[in-house]
Amino acid sequence: MDKLLYYLVTLLESALSVVGIRGTYEEPRYAIVEHLDRGVEVRAYEGRVAVETDAGGQQDGEAFGRLFRYITGANGGGQRIAMTTPVESEGCLIAMTVPVEQGARGTMRFYLPRTVVEAGAPEPTEPGVRLVRIPPERLAVLRFSGTASPAARDEQTRILTNVMEAAGRKPADRPFFMGYDPPFSVPFLRRNEVAVRLPSPAS
């Protein structure tokens, strides 16, 4: 794709997402396999590939910048790669009984388009950025709108925690946040999600 056209398309997609229009972004494929209380969905995701870096939390602009540089050319092929959603981030360790922030550093991920994966995703050239392959998995997900402030994420994580505990469902890992919109989007149109990975059905 021509460099100017690439940036124009990216700018247009960002502008549309400000008002909640995000149909131009590719999302990982999943099927909803179960509904729990409070709107929590259990989703079965297909396998996918992401580019990942260490992050100090959802608001880590440096981590976001490293990933953005990867999709805009800081990779082995110098490719410009389409933006996808969601951006996944971990920034705090929250127990599944009483949410407790442990101050643990986490990760931030961009998922790669399927066409890029099928053609062979280029290796990152910037230190601290890596490709990760995620096998098929199940997530318990709670969606919410509004500003994804730390307080809002903590509250939604508490709701998810309580629903999981009441349903007798044990997580496989710590909760994380998935963001679908830029921070300047209209708050009530934003799509935010907190999620936790579940043990595989066979385990």
Print the SS3 string covering 140-203.
Answer: EEEEECCCCCHHHHHHHHHHHHHHHHHCCCCCCCCCEEEECCCCCCCHHHCCEEEEEEECCCCC
* CA separation for the pair 97, 40 (Å, rounded): 17
Which residue in this structure is represented by tokens 């990216």? 10
- Report CA-CA distances (Å) from 97 to 84, 119, 199: 33, 43, 17
Given a cut of 90, is residue 159 above it in pLDDT?
yes
pLDDT average, residue stretch 18-39: 78
Give the model's pLDDT for residue 6. Answer: 42
1: Cβ contacts below 8 Å, ≥ 6 apart: 9, 80
pLDDT above 90 covers what percent of the chain?
43
φ and ψ at 5, to 5 degrees?
-65, -40
Position 2 scores a pLDDT of: 55
Domains of the chain: 3-198 (3.20.80.10)
Q: Is the pLDDT of residue 82 over 70?
A: yes
Q: Is the pLDDT of residue 11 over 60?
A: no
Residue type, 98: V
Residue 99 pLDDT exceeds 90: no
pTM score, whole prediction = 0.80
